[in-house]
Amino acid sequence: MIQNIQIEARQSYAFVARNFNLVKRYWGWEVVWLFYSIANALSVTFIGAGASTITGQQSLDTNFLITYLLVGTLVWHFLSGIFNNVSEMIAWERWEGTIEYTFMAPVRRFNQMIGQTLFAVLYSFLFTVVIGVVVSSFFDLHFVGADFLSAAGILLVGSVSFVGIGVVASILPLLYPERGAQMTNIVQALFLLVSGVYYPVSVLPDWLQALSRLSPATYVLEGMRAALLPDQSTAAPTHYVWPLLLMGIVMLPLGVYLFQRAERYTKRTGKLKRNG
């Protein structure tokens, strides 16, 4: 029993190690993406810094605006990083030419997904921390009364839901080799629109506000802001944990089940190796 657990743990770790080796192989692209992400985060937060100049209202609390936008930017970068790394695992396998070897290997798909998920969370967290440290150095930020422990818990619970959504989205490149990867970008864009990354969801049209309640990113962002900006929220951070737990419990097993069904279909129809 213990030996079997050790074997499966090593199998999952193998996918973590392989993905970090891929990051090292394409380190130039990682540097480019890091600089782009930092520039993008700074561009968004400088909007908060310049809000009083733009509106002509010098009484605006620019520190709050900067923090509000920074929290949204960093949380979205973390969640979208998880989504990208999980949803693009099929595209990467095809790019590397290893998809047949991986899917025919005597490894449970569950173990592969655990490894892919661990890599996605670790990679996104490290990347987001670097961006946060660099961007924060440009501003004099104050987190008075912030509950960092609750914020970390909300982020962790919310990441489980996004893993499940990423697994579901990874079915698209599996079923549609020619355009599946582009379709996952559409899914990500929809979550960006309705989740209140840079603005409260209350400014959205009513029908988009209804859709926002189906996005786990909405609850993560509102929970993080309730924890880090307590004076601006009427709800406790823990208020947002329960919907995230429910979404995670539903989405993760559902994603694995749907992926396994799609895998069997692609093997049967010969779509597994197709590149276009």
Beta strands in the chain (DSSP E): none
Name the range with the highest mean pLDDT among 51-60, 84-93, 106-115, 155-164.
155-164
Q: What is the mean pLDDT of residues 31-53?
A: 91
Question: What is the pTM for the complete model shown?
Answer: 0.88
Question: Can you give the pLDDT at residue 232?
Answer: 65
Reading the block at residue 72, the tokens are: 């949204």
**Mean pLDDT (whole number) for 130-146:** 86
pLDDT tens digits for range 99-109: 777 777 777 77
Instruction: Give the confidence band of 86 by pLDDT, cuts at 50, 70, 90.
Output: confident
State residue 176's pLDDT score.
Answer: 82
pLDDT by residue (tens digit) across 2-20? Answer: 767 777 788 788 888 888 8
Average pLDDT of 33-41?
Answer: 93
1 pLDDT higher than 70: no
Can you give the residue ranges of every domain in the chain? 2-269
Closest CA to 94 of 168, 27, 178, 186: 178
Packing angle of the helix pair 216-228, 148-169 (nearest 10 deg):
170
Give pLDDT, residue 87.
Answer: 82
| pLDDT at residue 234, rounded to an integer | 66
Q: What is the pLDDT of residue 274?
A: 54
Q: What is the pLDDT of residue 272?
A: 67
Alpha-carbon distance of 152 to 160, in angstroms, equals: 13
Q: Which long-range contacts (CB under 8 A, 24 or more apart) does 90-98 make?
A: 90/170, 90/173, 90/174, 90/180, 91/173, 91/180, 91/181, 92/22, 94/173, 94/177, 94/275, 96/22
Model confidence pLDDT, tens digit, residues 208-262? 999 999 999 999 999 999 888 877 666 777 788 899 999 989 988 888 888 888 8
Of the chain, the percentage scoring pLDDT greater than 90 comes to: 29
- Mean pLDDT confidence for 122-129: 92
> Is there a contact between 37 and 127 (Cβ–Cβ < 8 Å)?
yes
pLDDT of residue 273: 62
| 44 pLDDT above the threshold of 80 | yes
Identify the top-confidence range among 3-17, 76-90, 259-273.
76-90
The pLDDT mean for the chain works out to 85
Alpha-carbon span 37 to 29, nearest angstrom = 12
CA dihedral of residues 249, 252, 253, 257 (deg, nearest 10): 160
